[in-house]
Amino acid sequence: MLFPVIMAGGHGTRLWPLSRQQHPKQFLPLLTPHSSLLQNTLTRLEGLATQTPLLICNEEHRFLAAEQVRQLPNINAQIMLEPEGRNTAPALALAALYAEQQIACTPVPNKAEDADAIILALPADHTIEDTPAFQAAITAALPLAKAGKLVTFGIKPTHGETGYGYVQCGQAIANTAGFEVTQFVEKPDQDTANHYVASGQYYWNSGIFMFNAKDYLQELVHFQPQVLAACEAALAQSERDLDFIRLNKDAFLACPNISIDYGIMEHTHQAAMVELNSNWSDVGSWSALAQQLNPDSQGNTLRGDVIIKEVSQSLIMAEHRLVAALGVQDVIIIETKDAVLVAHQDHEQEIKQLVAQLAADGRTEHIQHRECHRPWGKFDAIGSGEHYQVKRITVNVGGRLSLQKHQHRAEHWVVVSGTASVTQGEQVSLVTKNQSVYIPVGELHALANAGSTPLELIEVQTGDYLGEDDIERFADNYGRAHTAVSNQP
């Protein structure tokens, strides 16, 4: 039984300012207008005989993940929540343990023939252009995984890339499509990468793996027993929360932070490789994204309202306003509602340092966009000043904000379109277009979309503290904490 596992826990800091902590790259439509990298990963499985995919993501992304799965027709997924990221070795330990549980309690017509849980581990933020080639590689790897091999999928390199890890390919494995793995190599310098490509022995490490759950768990016993023990405890003490599997936080945080490459694949004697013969990218940098977007004859990749003159070999993306560039080359310009990045391509690997500086300075632009998604809809913080903030709020059909009150702020709502059901204390009223309502400090209140179209309203907040943590919840349709009171004055 093939169990797809979608690993969606990363933050994609090298693609800031588009990718941010609360809305990272796997949830963004970077390559196709209406489909995220995560959604593309799930649809790539269509046509393969698999069990329901297991999607592992950070707890703070649970509603993003659930909504993106919901948008896909005829596709479902079970979602497991990590309280904090601990890298890929623990994530796949959880997946293997979960798959073993599922296969133990699932009736299988030919159980003797199909009693193995074969894990197919897929990063949620990669792109693979040739889906038939991808599925052919998966099919070719199955006999190896069933024979006890831990299979990685290698990409034939087209150039000496320093942003990827490499797999050195050894002898062919008889009667299979696989090869022995001589070694795994982390990201090399440019000269070493060029040597790897010229030798013909090295492949890019795609980060895609396939193995029997039992075999992976056995390797954890030998090489990472602390990972296995922590994951066993976290899963054993997990709870069902709406449609999510919520791991025990204390047990999981005791787990070491380590990748499957470092923790297992560099030590095991059972590593094998199957070539994935497709245009592949981990979309891990702006230049990698630019190549996927088909640069023009001058090497430029442009998106949005962009005007250029005497510009070459550059990536320029405008989300919300005109961006004009003159007489530059090899630059990256990314415009969003609240931040603009300008960088030379030679320094794109250092964007992480800029993000770290934002965090050190106590800023929030690395955490969230000006427009923030919530399980009920979204809000756009369109303006702020001393003691006031203005937001444009969109509440989806059927959406409802929690029953709550604030210690430090009052709110004034003006409905732009749609119909709102507003709770104030014991009173419930309908508020429609061009009508407004005032919520004083400390008043218990709630807001819901009472119509058949999205509800749009303008919210004006006033008070001595306007942080998102100034909320005391009393009831919530989405299982969020009922008390999250600000410690601010």
Do the domain assignments include residue 472?
Answer: yes
Do the domain assignments include residue 117?
Answer: yes
**Do 129 and 144 sit in the same domain of this protein?**
yes
Contact 67, 19 (CB under 8 A): no
Contact 85, 10 (CB under 8 A): yes
Do the domain assignments include residue 54?
Answer: yes
Coil/strand/helix, residue 57 = strand
Do the domain assignments include residue 116?
Answer: yes
**Do 148 and 253 sit in the same domain of this protein?**
yes
pLDDT in tens for each of the 489 residues of the chain? Answer: 999 999 999 888 999 999 999 999 999 999 988 899 999 999 999 999 999 999 999 999 999 999 999 999 989 999 999 999 999 999 999 999 999 999 887 765 555 556 789 999 999 999 999 999 999 999 999 999 999 999 999 999 999 988 899 999 999 999 999 999 999 998 899 999 999 999 999 999 999 999 999 999 999 999 999 999 999 999 999 999 878 999 999 999 999 999 999 999 999 999 999 999 999 999 999 999 999 998 999 999 999 999 999 999 999 999 999 999 999 999 999 999 999 999 999 999 899 999 999 999 999 999 999 999 899 999 999 999 999 999 999 999 999 999 999 999 999 999 999 999 999 999 999 999 999 999 999 999 999 999 999 999 999 999 999 988 899 999 998 887 655 443 333
CA distances from 39 to 27, 43, 48 (A): 8, 6, 16
Which residue range is the domain that position 410 belongs to? Answer: 371-484
Q: What is the Cα Rg of the chain in Å?
A: 25
**Do 226 and 350 sit in the same domain of this protein?**
no
**Do 328 and 396 sit in the same domain of this protein?**
no
**Do 68 and 112 sit in the same domain of this protein?**
yes
Domain count, the chain: 3
**Do 51 and 119 sit in the same domain of this protein?**
yes
The residue among 357, 384, 417 that closes a domain is 357
The residue among 226, 249, 281 that closes a domain is 281
Do the domain assignments include residue 362?
Answer: no
Which is nearest to 304 in space by CA: 290, 293, 320?
320
Domain CATH code at residue 106: 3.90.550.10
**Do 321 and 440 sit in the same domain of this protein?**
no
Tokens representing residue 15 in the block: 């693609």
- C-alpha 338/C-alpha 383 separation (Å) is 11
Do the domain assignments include residue 60?
Answer: yes
**Do 73 and 40 sit in the same domain of this protein?**
yes
Do the domain assignments include residue 363?
Answer: no
- C-alpha 133/C-alpha 434 separation (Å) is 55
Which amino acid, one-letter code, is at 113? E
The residue among 315, 335, 357 that closes a domain is 357
**Do 40 and 165 sit in the same domain of this protein?**
yes
Domain CATH code at residue 433: 2.60.120.10
**Do 45 and 155 sit in the same domain of this protein?**
yes
**Do 408 and 351 sit in the same domain of this protein?**
no
**Do 378 and 429 sit in the same domain of this protein?**
yes
Do the domain assignments include residue 175?
Answer: yes
